[in-house]
Every structure is written in structure tokens, then in C-alpha cells.
Amino acid sequence: MGCDNTVIFKKDHIMKIKKILPVTAIIFAVLMGSCSKDDRYSSPLSSVKNPTALPPVVSQPKIVLKVVNLGVAGNFVILSKSGITDVFKSAITGNVGTSPITGASLLLKCSEVSGTIYTVDAGGPLPCRVTNATLLTTAVRDMQTAYTDAAGRSNPNFLNLGAGSIGGLTLSPGLYKWTSAVVIPTDVTISGGPNDVWIFQVAGTLKMGSAVKIILAGGAQAKNIFWQASGAVTFGTTSHFEGNILSQTGINLQTGASLNGRMLAQTAVTLQMNTVVQP
């Protein structure tokens, strides 16, 4: 009888185990599936036995755009090789000069300039005109060097942005290149920090519409903004511009236009009751 009872007990025990096993298998499968799912969202190092053995992560270094060195030309708010015309009364803050053309081609009056007017000879407005051909020769040379530097920067961050029409855009720091003309029909914002640099390379003309403004944001500074233009630069009536202009040809400000920056022209500069302030 004892042996029979033991056999019965074992049979009953086995039957219970058989019933429990399928349930256990299901629970185990669910748990394993949950673990697999969670693993997808865990740190990559969680499955590594020795995280310190991994190679170091190499991050891409931030490329800092260097400013264009203006040299002695940076001491001028307006510098021209072939003259400055003016419709009275403009308000110019900073030094003004023309070279190699004679001082007689510089038509600003002393009362319009808060700074020094330099000429290569005895021509030019009196009594404020200062003759310094050596200084002007160096400044013009540096202006041309700066133009070549700005035009020669390679690997632009932005190429032909807006197909040359940049009205309404916010421009972050970097190198911009256009292979044709650029127009600014509506306000543009230049946004970045006080040490950020912008270089705009324009293969054709640069034209801003009347009453249009360039707005600085985030601490951006006009002294760190460089507009290099191969063609003529024209700002419409009552418009406002920010930055240093390096022009291979003329720079033309129409009536009431204003500029916070520099006008460095390899030909002529035309003023019509404008406000120009050196940054």
C-alpha cells in the first residue's frame, strides 16, 4: 500500500507540473520580450561589460570664421579710389578719404564729417582737409587686400541662398556665396553672438529696396559683417544697412539711406543726404 500511495503522489505531482509549465513558459516569454523592448531604449553602454574599453567619441570641432583684416582701411568709414559725391546734407561719423584721385573729387563739406577728411593733395574741403598721400596709399592697398581675402574665402556654408533674393530671411553666422546678383526687397535679420562673423560674397550687384532694413539680433555686431560685391552696390531711399562693404565698383546711397558700417569702394561713392556711422 505504501508503494502504491507513493506512485499516486508522484503521478499527481507530475500532472500538476505539466499544467504549470505552459503558464510559466508564457510568462517567461513575455518577460523576455519586455526586456528586449526595453533594451532598445537603454544606453548603448548597458550591454557592454567594460565600457571603459570603448574608443573615445570624437566630436566635430566648431569652425570659427575669421574676420576680414581691413588693415589701415579700417580707420576709414568711407574710402574711395575715384571720388565721393554728395547731396547736402549728409552726416558722416568717422574718417573719409580718396586716393589716388585728387582731393577736388571729394565733395563732402567739413560740417558733414565728424572725423578727418584725408586727401592726396591740396584739393578737398577746407579748412578741415588733411593731406596725407602716404596714409591713403596704404589704406587703399589694404582695402584691395581685404577685398581679395573676402572674395577668396572657400567652402561656403550657404550657396546661392534664396536664388539671390534674401528678403525676410534670418542669416546665421557663416560664409555665404552667390554666383549672381543679390537683392534685398524686404527686411533681413542678421542673428548671432558678438564675436560671430558673416562674410557675404556677391558675384554681381547688391541692391536693397527703399525703406528696407537690415536688423541685428542676438548681439551681432556690424564690425564683424563683411559684404564683398563685384558689381555696384545700391541702397534705396530711407533704407538702413549694416556691415562693411567691400566693393569692386561703386557704392550708391539714395536719399535718406543710412549705414552702420564702412564703405570701401574701388571706384566712387555717391551720397544723398545720408547718415553713415563707423562701427
Asked whether 258 and 242 are in contact (CB, 8 A), the reply is: no
Same domain, 186 and 110: yes
Task: Assess whether 47 and 78 both reside in one domain.
Answer: no
Per the CB < 8 A criterion, the answer to whether 227 and 207 are in contact is: no
CA distance 109 to 86: 9
Q: Are residues 168 and 245 in the same domain?
A: yes
Together in a domain, 11 and 136: no
Domain assignment present for residue 254? The answer is yes
pLDDT digits (tens, 9 = 90+) for 108-162: 999 999 999 999 999 999 999 999 999 999 999 999 999 999 999 999 999 999 9
Query: Strand, helix or coil at 7?
Result: helix
Are 108 and 210 contained in the same domain?
A: yes
**CA-wise closest residue to 188 among 204, 207, 166:** 166
In a domain, 64, yes or no: no
Residue 253 CB neighbours (<10 A)? 28
Residues 35 and 85 in one domain: no
Please report the pLDDT score of residue 141 as a whole number. Answer: 98
Q: Are both 121 and 226 inside the same structural domain? A: yes
Residue 189: how many other CB atoms lie within 10 Å = 16
- The closest of 168, 171, 225, 152 to 194, measured between CA atoms, is 225
Q: Kindly state whether residues 26 and 117 are assigned to the same domain.
A: no
- Domain of residue 235 covers 71-277
Q: In this structure, is residue 222 part of a structural domain?
A: yes
Give domain status of residue 61, yes or no: no
Q: Between residues 220 and 3, which one has the greater pLDDT?
A: 220
pTM of the model: 0.78
The predicted-structure confidence for 224-274, as pLDDT tens digits, reads as follows: 999 999 999 999 999 999 999 999 999 999 999 999 999 999 999 999 999
Bridge partner residues of 276 (DSSP): 92, 259
pLDDT per position as a tens digit, 38-95: 443 333 333 334 444 444 433 334 558 999 999 999 999 999 999 999 999 999 999 9
Answer yes or no: is pLDDT of 186 > 60.
Answer: yes
Residues 6 or more apart whose Cβ sits within 8 Å of residue 131: 103, 118, 119, 120, 121, 122
Q: Is there a single domain that holds both residue 154 and residue 40?
A: no
**Co-location of 37 and 135 in the same domain:** no
What CA–CA distance (Å, rounded) separates 270 from 278? 17
Looking at the structure, tell me whether residues 130 and 267 fall in a common domain.
Answer: yes
Q: Do 241 and 270 fall into the same domain?
A: yes
The reported pLDDT for the residue numbered 95 is: 98
